[in-house]
Amino acid sequence: MCRIDNLCFVFSISDAWYRAVITDIISPLEVRVLYFDYGNSEVVSTTSDVKQLSEKFRIKAPFVYKCTLAGVGQAECTEGQMEKFTSLTVSRAFWRYFLLIAVA
């Protein structure tokens, strides 16, 4: 069951089950997962913390999308610029437009 890109439920330290995708196999007993509804990741135990995601929970779209600003790389921003951007954007609603770019 534990293969990279498998969708699963993960029991987290917050005592709740969350949807996730397996991004790395650390060992037969541990995997790294990405909580695709929140954007964070962690290493979890495969013995009790990871369960197969049932079909009815697969059809709901993720609540978080990884985004970047066009033409701006994180390495190009100073710490002050990052803090200013964060202060202007955190806890605010935005209109979003998704641009699909196919990479060959």
Q: What percent of the chain has pLDDT over 90?
A: 15
Helices (H), 1-104: 55-58, 79-89
Q: What CATH architecture is 7-58? A: Roll (2.30)
Overall average pLDDT of the 5-19 stretch: 87
Mean pLDDT of the chain: 80
**Better-scored residue on pLDDT, 95 or 6:** 6
**Quick check: 44 and 2 in contact, CB under 8 A?**
no
**Better-scored residue on pLDDT, 98 or 42:** 42
pTM: 0.60
Confidence of residue 74 (pLDDT cuts 50, 70, 90): low
Q: Strands, E, within the chain: which ranges? A: 7-11, 17-27, 30-34, 41-45, 50-52
